[in-house]
Amino acid sequence: MKKLYLHSFRTSLGQVRTAATERGLAIVALPGESERSFEGRIKKHFAACELCRGGKINEAAKRQIIGYLEGKLRRFSLKLDIHATAFQKRVLRQVAGIPYGRTMTYGEIARAIGNPKAFRAVGSANASNILPLVIPCHRVVASNGLGGYGGGLHLKKRLLRMEGAL
């Protein structure tokens, strides 16, 4: 049976939870996300897994997330186990390539993946990102403002200010 390793740790933002398989980091829960919501994502994507504590990938994720939030890390180098549709994966790969301190609009991402009219679908794919911070969906903005963010606009603003993008 496949194993899913769970971990929880404190950051400058608050409590962060991670889940990883042997293949890579699979879920990041931002501060403010309820335990129930985190468990729901685990059940949705990893129902057949045995739940365990710890894991080497989670330890690496902890170090890198804390380093990022302390301003010491600008690019994550974690193995990822992404559970998404083919379209969502294309969007998330593009989002993962947005440099630290920069932003892209939903429309720019749609054009970059070769589907210029899919900006709403890009927004939906971005909203379904279960690896926030690591896949920096906070760097995706609307053409007329910030757009949304699963962790709340206050957190999106804080992250963009920290990176010097706002």
Question: In 3-state terms, what secondary structure has residue 82?
Answer: coil
**DSSP conformational letter for 13:** T
Tell me which H or E stretch contains 90.
Answer: helix 86-96
Question: In 3-state terms, what secondary structure has residue 127?
Answer: helix
CA atoms of 103 and 105, how far apart (whole Å): 7
**Residues noted as catalytic:** 137
Widest CA span in the chain? 47
Question: In 3-state terms, what secondary structure has residue 22?
Answer: coil
| Helices 86-96, 119-127: inter-axial angle, 10-degree rounding | 80
Residue-by-residue DSSP string for 132-156:
TTTS-GGGEEBTTB----TT-HHHH
